[in-house]
Copies of this chain bind each other. A is one copy, B any other.
């Protein structure tokens, strides 16, 4: 591997590369409170279960990547023991540590999915900690569950939901669906008839305990098509995630008929994460003009292997259709690691391809700007670069 030239040409401090600030088109909030070692480690996995006896979540590509990239920003040597790192973090305080990490990411715009529960920062708080801008991406299933909380029948539920979708289309830059978790991607592709939607709403509302999640496939399809009608980009979780999903029902190719059904509307569909089905997602981005793809979650979780995963995505995906995201959640470390792994991986690939004469330097820089920020700015209508780092 030509690591050394890669680092020369594409410094890990991305802003120095001339590529400009990144747009992280999919992330979440940061936890506001301090965390002990187990609490911190619980964010290093998609699992919601304890680690196996005799093992720790730190012993993973993500754990090693956090220990590689983060300690130096808090004044410690790379790869120092987790306990040392967490002690230093406590010493600095939650807010200060978050600022040090977030301001080093090189991210100029955060697109924040606000649909996760928990003691998390709002987009404005995240922007303030990072010294940059944030925008909201609205989670469809959360809108439905909020509407259900205050509804007593399908009429008030569907009215509230419609109002919430319209409001979100005005305040947000896009929608997000976790239908992958709630049902799987193997849904019938078409908008459900209104009568079916009303009946499904009544069934769900009647059976629903407070806080109950929407899992009814008719309602989930109604949510998707409500978002499509706004024309804003619709982000879809695909590929791996926590054990609440069945991975083989999250292959983005299961969305093919939905992709075809949406095509006449022109509404952009953005396939998130996609691993280990990222080659299939790249195929969809290749052949359908309205499909975009990323490998957000996968870059952080595969650590030193992020370069290969990104390269596999860049086999079929046109360079105008690939987006950057961290999918970071909870730990400010995850924004930093997501950004570093992305810039390091992309820089390494482009340097390698330029070195062997396969790409010209000018094309490489242009493709890097598209993937790092240009595609997201065009897709989400972000007028100009954020203030950056």
Q: Which residues of A contact B (CB under 8 A)?
A: 1-3, 45-47, 49-57, 59-61, 64-65, 67-68, 78-79, 240, 242-243, 246-248, 251, 253-254, 256-257, 260, 263, 275-276, 279-280, 283-284, 286-290, 301-305, 308-309, 311-312, 314-316, 318-321, 352-353, 355-360, 362-363, 367, 370, 378
Contact of A52 among B248, B260, B290 (CB under 8 A): B290
**8 Å CB contact of A60 from B60, B276, B286, B312:** B286
Contact between chains at B280 and A54 (CB < 8 Å): no
**Chain B residue with minimal CB distance to A352?**
B1
Residue on B nearest A44 in the bound complex, by CB: B318
**Do A79 and B360 touch across chains, with their CB atoms under 8 A apart?**
yes
> For A302, what are the chain B residues with a Cβ–Cβ distance below 8 Å?
315-316
In the complex, the answer to whether B243 meets A253 with C-beta atoms within 8 Å is no
Of A49, A284, A319, the most chain B CB neighbours within 10 A belong to: A319
Are the CB atoms of B363 and A288 closer together than 8 Å?
A: no
Interface-centre pick from A51, A59, A275 (highest chain B CB count, 10 A)? A59
CB distance from A349 to the nearest CB of B (A): 9
Closest chain-B Cβ to A279's Cβ sits at a distance in Å of: 4
Q: Chain copies in the assembly?
A: 3
Would B358 and A65 count as touching, CB distance under 8 A? yes
Q: Is the CB of A288 within 8 A of B320?
A: no
Which chain B residue shows the least CB distance to A278?
B276
Contact A55 B318 (CB under 8 A): yes
Q: Are A315 and B305 in contact (CB under 8 A)?
A: yes
CA distance A304 to B60 in the complex (A): 25
CB pair B318 A60 closer than 8 Å: yes
Q: State in angstroms the CA–CA spacing of A257 and B355 once bound together.
A: 46
Q: How far is the CB of A336 from chain B (nearest CB, A)?
A: 15
Ordered by A's residue number, 12 sampled pairs between the chains whose C-beta atoms are within 8 Å are A1-B2, A1-B356, A3-B356, A54-B320, A59-B318, A60-B316, A68-B359, A79-B362, A247-B283, A248-B253, A276-B280, A304-B353
User: A64's closest neighbor in chain B, by CB?
Assistant: B359
6 tightest A-B contacts by CB? A55-B320, A79-B360, A276-B279, A304-B358, A248-B253, A302-B315
Residues of B within 8 A of A286 (CB): 45-47, 60, 301
The reply to whether B253 and A246 contact each other, CB–CB distance below 8 Å, is yes
Residues of B near A276 (CB, < 8 A) are 279-280, 283
A283 and B360 CA atoms in complex are apart in Å by: 37
Taking CB atoms, residues of chain B closer than 8 Å to A360 are: 67, 78-79
**Do the beta carbons of B283 and A240 come within 8 Å of each other?**
yes
> In the assembled complex, how far is the CB of residue A186 from the closest CB belonging to chain B, in whole angstroms?
10
Task: Determine if A289 and B52 form an interchain contact, defined as CB atoms under 8 angstroms apart.
Answer: yes
* B315 pairs with A59, CB closer than 8 A: no
With both chains docked as a complex, state the minimum distance between the C-beta of A63 and any C-beta of chain B, in angstroms: 8
Residues of B within 8 A of A246 (CB): 253, 256-257
A312–B64 Cα distance when bound, in Å, is: 16
- Contacts A50-B289, A52-B321 known; 11 new A-B pairs at CB < 8 A: A51-B289, A53-B378, A60-B318, A61-B315, A64-B363, A79-B362, A246-B257, A247-B283, A276-B283, A305-B315, A309-B315
Partner of A303, one of B242, B254, B358: B358
Bound together, the chains give a CA A49 to CA B370 distance in angstroms of 21
A286-B47, A286-B60, A288-B243 as given contacts; A248 in contact with B320, CB under 8 Å:
no
Nearest B residue to A61 by beta-carbon distance?
Answer: B315
A59 near B320 with CB under 8 A, answer yes
Closest to A2 in B: B1
Given A79-B363, A279-B275, A320-B52, A47-B287 contact (CB < 8 Å): yes
